[in-house]
Amino acid sequence: MIRTWSMRYLWLPALACVVAACAMSEEEPDPAPDLLVCEPGDDLAWSDEFDEDGPPNASRWRYDTGGHGWGNQELQFYTVARAKNVRVEDGRLIIEAHREPWQGRDYTSTRLLSRQEWTYGRFEARAILPSGRGTWPAIWMLPDLDQYGGWPRAGEIDIMEHVGFDPDQVHSTVHTDAYNHTKGTQRGASIAVPSARSEFNVYAVEWTPSEIRGYVNETQYFTFRNERLTNPEADESQWPFDHPFHLIFNIAVGGSWGGQRGVDPDIWPQRMQVDYVRVYGCDS
């Protein structure tokens, strides 16, 4: 979402795509040769099924914390291991945003990061999204931002984003130095998910050396191909996706995209419920 950065990255530009651009998809280029296929099968590399009530498993998860706006003018303060904002209960991970004063902010929430990182694979989460104007949940991926010199040069993969003022439209996006929202060149697509806020749906990306593909419930709606395979002039500016990334789950409040039509003060608390998170390997 926008999209682990620490306080040293406060200079970064806004990482959120704007609503008009987020729905923009690239024209289909010529197919890259020898595309790899990601077949989940039995090749489960990592997962959390959220079977034990209490705080998220500290051996699997860590936190970003703070209330500095996160480069997107967001309104929440991200707390650390605070049960009101994050917990496992009844077999589900709950990330919950509240309207309450906290360290100079009017809202609290959680930004949860996987401790493990991966290069390539299928990354999926089964989730119910929050509802209401001003909510901005995301399931996404970042690398160590020192790689290639910071955001957006290090890359970003957005598995799922949803803004409450545009209900049931889900977005998948990538950001690179050449393709990002600050230039109006980001690559992404959106899809209608009528049950996004009421039922569990599976949000996924398959990331191979050849391309990144976005899915909802096995319906593919986004493809971003590795230009370095077909264009001798392309480099990491177009495709920085060749180093480890970690997973991030969060709910932002307001912000440059989520708050474009204001924040409804009467809808809180709002939660994202996650049934499971699974990472599969990919084979050629």
Does an H or E element contain 256, and which?
helix 255-258
CB atoms near residue 107 (< 10 Å): 26
The answer to whether the beta carbons of residues 32 and 226 sit under 8 Å apart is: yes
Q: Which residues pair with 276 in a beta bridge?
A: 126
Report which of 273, 119, 134, 274 is spatially closest to residue 209, judged by C-alpha positions.
Answer: 119
95: Cβ–Cβ under 8 A, 6 or more apart, which residues?
Answer: 85, 86, 109, 110, 112, 137, 249, 250, 251, 271, 272, 274
Q: Cα(first)–Cα(last) distance of the chain, in Å? A: 30
Q: Give the β-pairing of 76-78 and 121-128.
A: unpaired
Tell me whether residue 161 is one of the annotated catalytic residues: yes
Among residues 96, 161, 227, 236, which one is catalytic? 161
Contact between 115 and 59 (Cβ < 8 Å): yes
Beta bridge partners of 248: 113, 140
Residue 188 CA to residue 158 CA, distance in Å, equals: 9
Of the listed 156, 211, 227, 236, which one is catalytic? Answer: 156
What number of other Cβ atoms are within 10 A of residue 149's Cβ?
12
SS3 7: helix
Asked if residue 204 lies in contact with residue 160, where contact means CB atoms within 8 angstroms, the answer is no
227 labelled catalytic: no
Within 10 angstroms of residue 186's Cβ, the number of other Cβ atoms is 24
Could you tell me which residues come within 8 angstroms of residue 177 by beta carbon, excluding any fewer than 6 positions away?
148, 152, 153, 236, 237, 238, 240
Active-site amino acid positions: 156, 161
